[in-house]
A and B are shown apart, each in its own frame.
Chain A
Amino acid sequence: MSGVARSARQWRAASAGNGVLFLLIALLIALTLGMAQLEPLFRALFPDLGNPLYARDSFLNLMLAHIGLVLVSSLISVTIGIAAGLFVTRPVGREFEPMVSSLAAIGQTFPPAAVLAIAVPLAGFGFAPTIIALSLYGLLPVIQNTIAGLGTVPQTTLEAARGNGMSRWQILRRVELPLAMRVIIAGIRVSVIINIGTATIGSTVGAKSLGTPLIAGLVGNNLAYVIQGALLVGLLAIVTDLLFERLERRYSFGGQA
């Protein structure tokens, strides 16, 4: 009986969560497409500003560019991060584990602005240096969680997999990765959320993103621009986080949940 009651409660909680998620997604889309409709509001809030609505580019373009930056950099972080995590947990790469971990940690201690400053002379202005900075910045959580996630797979489970005649590759694909997936996804989640926020500073070196109105607002002392950019970045981060939470939940098995 208690099991039934619990699952009913979980179901209600989940459906309430769904409601919040859909509401936030709707709000994000509405603001992205219809920020211009709020011009009277911003005019009322900031009567001193001659131009209270950022209009040099559409917010849809900025949003898509921002998502593009995050997607590309996260894809790079995740690919390199998981590959590195896998490498150092295999017998051949085990001795590189401390080195890879500290390299990734160093990548995180650099302020992204500093990485941008170094990347610009190497890669020029715009998209490329931003991608480099974001990819480096997002690497650590992915590597760390890949190593940690693979470490949670019980030794007895691995022994059973070997004892039943699975090859190394089959053990990795059928047992280790599925069991580690929840922790790995948690790492990707942190990495992506960090990058959604950090991508805004790409605008300082000319990459188009939701940071563009933000930076313009800061430079031109236009608080309305800052709010418009920050609102969308914040919403995007929250929605993404909720989506990842959902994805993580799919990979919990019994005792681990």
Chain B
Amino acid sequence: MIELQGLTKTYAGKNVVEDVSMTLETGEFGVLIGPSGCGKSTTLKMINRLVPLSSGRIILNGDDVTELPAEQLRRRIGYAIQSTGLFPHWSVARNIATVPQLLKWSKSRIDDRVDELMAMFHLDPAEFRDKYPHQLSGGQAQRVGVARALAADPEVLLMDEPFGAVDPITREALQAEMRRVHGQTGKTIVFVTHDMDEALQLATRIALLNNGRLVQYDRPIEMMVKPADDFVREFFGQADLGLKLLSRRWVHQYQRPPSLTHHATLPGLDHCWRLDEAGRPIVLEGARLDDQHQHTDVRSEWIATPEMSMKEALSRMVWYRVMVLPVVDETGKLIGEVGMQGIMGIESDGGLHAGGPAS
């Protein structure tokens, strides 16, 4: 867990970062985003004190590390930047071993750790150990950069626009890999980007900055459904971002218990499911877009499964003109339902931030 308390950076009498406070629980993926010059990068660099703090405190897993010598602090915090940050005169293995060497790990322990990390990033040690950074592709170099940042198993991983210099296809692959690695390691990550798509793909929490101030800090979907002000609304309100976000959300995150009796749990949504003997849904009563009490036969075309993306679920709701979809398990048994209201955030329960597709 990392806590930022009132971080402020003053250059020449001007506050470039002003009173930024936020808490990132262990295992969360926090993304700092905002227009250029908003102070997101400065904020990130204040965490490992590459930029000295003008005022404020940093609490790392309960320890106040504000006064800790910077070198010691940085060995507890991973740091990944664009691929040019690799040491060009060191092999891949030695680059990854940077922090373990500073921490004076034994050689065998370092070797084991390097192999483990290379395997995690799908870099064959036999092929890549002894290569030099200039022999790597942009994507490979970036993987090495992240592996280096993770080498000493840091408490927090900071990433400063790490995928800014690679082509879009490689970037997408790296983002998918980053989600997987985040799921595997459960690391707390603070990530800076100016790319909204990237933020939505990766973040469990988004911090939007503007003019050095934290405008809103929330789950991605809350930023969209409950923007704190017009700036947030505008920043997130570009074209199909809502749908993009839903394509990264899963039915099981929005699922709620099925309504089996006519009971208006939600305003304007009185409906119930009829089941067969095996517990499979056969009829939906109510919850049609046109008529609240019409009976609709359940057909396989508009059944949802927990692994389905919310974008697809929404598409089925719109196409078949129903407000709720039944969620069934592999045997076809009704295990829950998912509705329009859920997508709009009214019922966005704890499952939302529990992780991306990896979980």
Contact = CB atoms under 8 A, between A and B. Distances in A.
A175 to B, nearest CB: 6
Interface string B134-157: 110000000000001100000000
Contact of A163 (B81, B89, B132, B134): B81
Nearest to B82: A156
Contacts of A156: 81-82, 84-85
A47 interface: no
Contacts of B79: 160, 163-164
A109 interface: no
Nearest to A178: B89
B101 to A, nearest CB: 9
A220 interface: no
A160 B74 CA distance: 11
B50 A160 contact: no
A14 to B, nearest CB: 19
A152 to B, nearest CB: 11
B310 interface: no
Interface in B79-100: 79, 81-82, 84-89, 98-99
B50 A163 contact: yes
A231 B189 CA distance: 67
Given A156-B82, A163-B48, A253 B132 contact: yes
Interface stretch (A98-106, A165-173, A204-212, A237-245): A165-173
B133 interface: yes
A170 B70 CA distance: 14
A157 B74 contact: no
B72 interface: yes
Contact of A166 (B86, B102, B135): B102
B25 interface: no
Nearest to B69: A167
A154 B84 contact: yes
Given A162-B74, A165-B99, A157 B85 contact: yes
B81 A164 contact: no
Interface string A123-157: 00000000000000000000000000000001011
B71 A255 contact: no
Contacts of B88: 157, 179, 253-256
A174 B133 CA distance: 16
Contact of A160 (B72, B85, B132): B85
B160 to A, nearest CB: 9
Given A162-B74, A164-B74, A164-B98, A254 B135 contact: yes
A67 interface: no
B72 A165 contact: yes
Contact of A254 (B71, B85, B102, B132): B132
A35 interface: no
B252 interface: no
Interface in B236-251: none
A95 interface: no
A253 B99 contact: no
B288 interface: no
A253 B133 CA distance: 9
B213 interface: no
A179 B88 CA distance: 8
Nearest to B135: A254
A61 to B, nearest CB: 42
A165 B85 contact: no
Contacts of B148: 164
B134 A165 contact: no
A253 to B, nearest CB: 5
Contacts of B75: 164-165
A160 B71 contact: no
A172 B150 CA distance: 23
A165 B81 contact: no
Interface in A167-225: 167, 170, 174-175, 178-179
B102 A160 contact: no
Given A164-B99, A178-B89, A159 B81 contact: yes
Given A253-B89, A254-B134, A165 B84 contact: no
The interface centre, meaning the residue of B71, B73, B133, B149 with most chain A CB atoms within 10 A of its CB, is B71
Given A165-B102, A254-B132, A157 B48 contact: no
A162 B102 CA distance: 12
Contacts of A29: none
A121 to B, nearest CB: 48
Interface in B190-240: none
A235 interface: no
A162 B71 CA distance: 8
A56 B233 CA distance: 94
A52 to B, nearest CB: 53
A217 B99 CA distance: 63
Contacts of A254: 88, 132-135
A177 B127 CA distance: 28
A21 interface: no
B102 A164 contact: yes
A254 to B, nearest CB: 3
A160 B135 contact: no
7 contacts: A159-B81, A159-B85, A160-B86, A164-B148, A165-B72, A165-B99, A254-B135
Given A159-B85, A164-B102, 15 more contacts: A157-B87, A160-B79, A160-B86, A162-B74, A163-B74, A164-B75, A164-B79, A164-B98, A165-B72, A166-B102, A167-B71, A175-B89, A179-B88, A179-B89, A254-B132
